[in-house]
Amino acid sequence: MRSRFWAFLVLVAIVSGCTTSELSTEPLDVAAGESRLPGSVVGVWRGVIPCADCPGINYSLGLNDDNTFEEIMIYQERDVDPYTRIGTWQIANGILQLHGNDSTSTQFDMSIGGELHMLDQEGKRINSNLADKYKLRKDTDLTEDNPELWNEKRRQGVDFIATGNEPGWALEIDQEKGMYFKTLPSKTITLQTAMPEVTNNGKIITYKATSETGDLIVELTAQPCEDTMSGKMSTHTVRVKAKGIEFNGCGMFLNTKMEEK
């Protein structure tokens, strides 16, 4: 009975937030894909998909190079266990197909560069006011727990890193050289500044700098912050204002001596 209940939840999650009348589809027209997932796409993909009775569902999909996958769904602000599904994947006609060990299946359109777009149960695109929410983006190196990366960043002099979602962005602060901010994955906004002006107000540290392409203001608040997609906890809540646009996310110091300052 419990397995049937979770299988039902999977189906609900794919179309949650949309009524039957609101959900429309259109035929797919994509080039033929390969029989195996390209190496550049193997990894962890994340997104927050709509939920009928909660703020959203943190959706994580791990695609392995041995044609297996693990899917995790965490319902925000709901006291229920995370749903986990494992199985195998394949690609046919540009569509990523997941075949769960519980006999359920899910499909994603791979034709839109850099993203996986969830399809309905008939393998057609979701076409509604929530269609843009049914997509996954691949984790970048900045959002992974990667000790080698952190050590390399420390050697480069980076003191603080931060990331955010919806839209995705990444930030690096070198208090002796400058700041680097970019939106992901398109890099619609990219700012690289000289050494910032720093104001330390106890619990809040503010960095301000100006580049040739615009102003960058970063506010770090020393309070735990949970990533809205991965659920990973960081030490600081981060607010960024780049070219007059505000972004919110989480970050941490790589250099504890700089944190103490």
- The answer for residues whose C-beta is within 8 angstroms of residue 8's C-beta and 6 or more apart is none
Does residue 167 have a cis bond before it (omega within 30 degrees)?
yes
Instruction: Report the half-sphere exposure of 63 (CA within 13 A, side-chain side).
Output: 23
Positive or negative, the CA dihedral 53, 54, 56, 59 is negative
DSSP assignment letter at 158 = -
How far apart CA 256 and CA 215 sit, in angstroms, is 27
How far apart CA 179 and CA 78 sit, in angstroms, is 38
Tokens of 105: 């299946």
How far apart CA 235 and CA 227 sit, in angstroms, is 11
Angle at 105 between CA 101 and CA 110, to 5 degrees: 125
CB 258 within 8 A of CB 158: no
DSSP letters spanning 110-150: --STTEEEEB-TTS-EEESTTGGGSEEEEPPGGGS--HHHH
pLDDT given at position 15: 36
How far apart CA 98 and CA 110 sit, in angstroms, is 13
Give, for all 261 residues of the chain, the pLDDT tens digit. Answer: 434 334 333 433 443 333 322 333 333 333 333 333 455 678 888 888 898 888 888 888 989 889 999 999 988 888 888 899 999 999 888 899 999 999 999 999 987 767 899 999 888 888 888 888 898 887 654 444 556 677 778 888 899 999 998 888 999 999 888 999 998 866 688 899 999 999 998 789 999 999 888 899 999 999 888 888 777 888 899 999 999 999 999 999 987 555 545
Q: What's the one-letter identity of residue 67?
A: N
Report the SS3 class of residue 16.
coil
Q: What is the pTM of this model?
A: 0.48
